[in-house]
Structure 1
Amino acid sequence: MASLHINPLFARLESAERVLVTGAGGGFDIYAGLPVALSLFHQGKHVQLANLSFSALEGLPLDSWLAPDVAVITPETALHQAYFPERTLAQWLGLHGYPNTVHAFSRVGVQPLRAAYRALIERYDIDAVVLVDGGTDILMRGDESGLGTPEEDLASVAALAAIDVPERLVVSIGFGIDAYHGVSHGLVLENIAALERDGSFLGAFSVSRTTREGALFVDAVAHAQHHTPDHPSIVNGSIAAAVQGAFGDAQFTSRTRCSELFINPLMTLCFAFELDGVARNCRYLDRIEDTHLIRQVSSAIENFRDEVRQRPPRRIPH
């Protein structure tokens, strides 16, 4: 049993030497994993970064591909593409003296994504994987009134659930952000409680700007917003605003000008879980097991939801 003063997530990673930190849900999700990844870098771990990508990977040269559906992205990759979060992150990493390679997974179904993960894990002899979601929809079990955008998140969970790695963990940061996609955070809390009873919840900790990692995360998000002005990350922008002490309707991009934001300190919390528990918690994971295309994942989830009785939203008292 761990002591209260020890962070359970990093205690689980203490013996790991080669860690893969990977974004689960596409877009800028890997940025949500930066505080954890940077802490591991600073501990002297060998860290590889990856992200399920929404970037246009199809036109990359053959020598960019480590294996089918996983590309190696550097600061010079596809400079003609304005939107390329993995490249933008690689550029920021290089500016700050970190290894400046980020791997990009194609947006595919579970079977090819698992093969791509396996190739990456074997290439670097990875002994721990931290799958990160910017938001909380990775914690949805499928019978909630609103799921957010779970396709990529749960395809990533399913892909990793069948790969034998000594440590497989899930981190969710950005509590409350998915309310704008229909997620009931009362149900999120209910699901976290179920994971606690299951023994899969490893606790939570806050990303603070008074830490080296928190300050660097804020800088990385600002860099990404500057270099992707037409499509900045709302999720990471919200988290970074919360890390800096913003509250309420703190607008930081024109993309949200028609929405009222609720930036708050809970968005800075990293909730950590065992991946096996998150996989068991998802009631439709077996339905997406044999998928090859992401649209097959979407269809399987829709079919499941047509058959299941949905839990209504749970109000958080105030």
Structure 2
Amino acid sequence: MTALHTNPLFDRLADAERILVAGAGGGFDVYAGLPIALSLLHQGKEVLLANLSFSHLAGLPLADWAAPDLATITPRTAPHQTYFPERTLARWLEAHDYPATVYAFPQTGVQPLRAAYRALIVLHRIDAVVLVDGGTDILMRGDEAGLGTPEEDLTSVAALAALDDVPCRLVVSVGFGVDAYHGVSHALVLENIAALEREGAYLGAFSIPRATREGALFLDAVAHAQEHTPDRPSIVSGSIAAAVRGSFGDVQFTTRTSGSELFVNPLMSLCFAFDLPGLAARCLYLDRIEDTHLMRQVHSRIAEFREDLIPRPARRIPH
């Protein structure tokens, strides 16, 4: 049993030597895992970074592929591409003297993504995986009124759920409240977390203070990404960074959110941690996407699952 003065997530990772921190949902999700990755690096762990990618990977030369559906991204990969979060992160890592390789998975179904994860795990003898979602839709079990955009997140969960040879598999959700504009009821998120607590899969939460070394570096990395991706800055990473800085309310930092009212708040800087197999066991449609090979199959299987569903209605957090 973990003592109160220790962190359950890092306690689970204490004996791991080679840890993979991976973004679950594409885009800039890997940035949400950066504070944890940096903390592990500063503890002397070997840490690899990976991301389910929205970047254009199809045009990369054969030499950039470590295995099928597993691209190796460095600071010099595809210099002509303007939107490339994995390369942007690799450049920031290099500038700060950290290992500057970020692996990228193209958008596929569960089966090829699992094979790519397995190849990466074998290649680097990974003994722990931390899957990170920038947002909370990874916590949706499928019967909620609004799921947000769970397809990529739950494809990642399903891919890793069957890799039993990795002794430690964890999920971290960062950015509580950011998915409200995607229809997620955060009262239902809290209800789901409570259920995961009862089942022993919730490992508690901790914040990313800006006064820590990792918090300050995270803010610097997000600012760097915003500078180098001015046309498509990450709303999620920007919101989390604003919360880490202590901003509150309708904090507008990109024209992408013009016309929407944001609610940046301190809960966005909390990292909610979970046991991945326990989280996977609560998803009501995970078996339906198990044999998928394409992301569009994942979309259609989830839609089919919800056709005759009577959803749990959205709830309001009392105020």
Aligned counterparts, 1:5-84, within 5 A: 5-84=5-84
SS of equivalent to 1:222: helix
Q: Which amino acid aligns with 1:110?
A: V
Aligned counterparts, 1:1-318, within 5 A: 1-163=1-163, 164-318=165-319
- Mapped to 2, the partners of 1:141 and 1:214 lie a distance apart of 30
- Mapped to 1, the partners of 2:154 and 2:174 lie a distance apart of 16
Shift in Å, 1:91: 0.1
Shift in Å, 1:215: 0.4
- Mapped to 2, the partners of 1:282 and 1:24 lie a distance apart of 15
- Mapped to 2, the partners of 1:51 and 1:260 lie a distance apart of 29
Q: Give TM-score scaled by structure 2 length.
A: 0.99
Shift in Å, 1:40: 0.4
Shift in Å, 1:257: 1.4
Shift in Å, 1:193: 0.4
- Mapped to 1, the partners of 2:315 and 2:96 lie a distance apart of 43
- Mapped to 2, the partners of 1:224 and 1:64 lie a distance apart of 22
SS of equivalent to 2:48: strand
- Mapped to 1, the partners of 2:251 and 2:27 lie a distance apart of 22
- Mapped to 2, the partners of 1:260 and 1:126 lie a distance apart of 41
Shift in Å, 1:307: 2.3
Q: Which amino acid aligns with 2:125?
A: D
SS of equivalent to 2:307: helix
- Mapped to 1, the partners of 2:251 and 2:109 lie a distance apart of 36
Shift in Å, 1:206: 0.4
The Cα offsets for residues 198-224 of structure 1, whole Å up to 9 and x where unpaired, read as: 000000000000100000000000000
Q: Which amino acid aligns with 2:72?
A: V
Shift in Å, 1:121: 0.3
The Cα offsets for residues 91-112 of structure 1, whole Å up to 9 and x where unpaired, read as: 0000000000000001000000
- Mapped to 2, the partners of 1:122 and 1:244 lie a distance apart of 38
How many residue pairs match? The answer is 318
Q: Which amino acid aligns with 2:40?
A: L
- Mapped to 1, the partners of 2:94 and 2:243 lie a distance apart of 26
Shift in Å, 1:254: 1.1
- Across the aligned residues of Structure 1 and Structure 2, the Cα RMSD in angstroms comes to 0.4
- Mapped to 1, the partners of 2:246 and 2:183 lie a distance apart of 25
Q: Which amino acid aligns with 1:197?
A: R
Q: Which amino acid aligns with 1:181?
A: H
Q: Which amino acid aligns with 2:295?
A: I
- Mapped to 1, the partners of 2:212 and 2:247 lie a distance apart of 17
Shift in Å, 1:281: 1.1
Q: Which amino acid aligns with 2:230?
A: P
Range with bigger deviation, 302-311 or 128-137: 302-311
SS of equivalent to 1:307: coil
Range with bigger deviation, 175-184 or 304-313: 304-313
- Mapped to 1, the partners of 2:252 and 2:275 lie a distance apart of 34
Shift in Å, 1:12: 0.3
Structure 2, unaligned runs of 5 or more: none
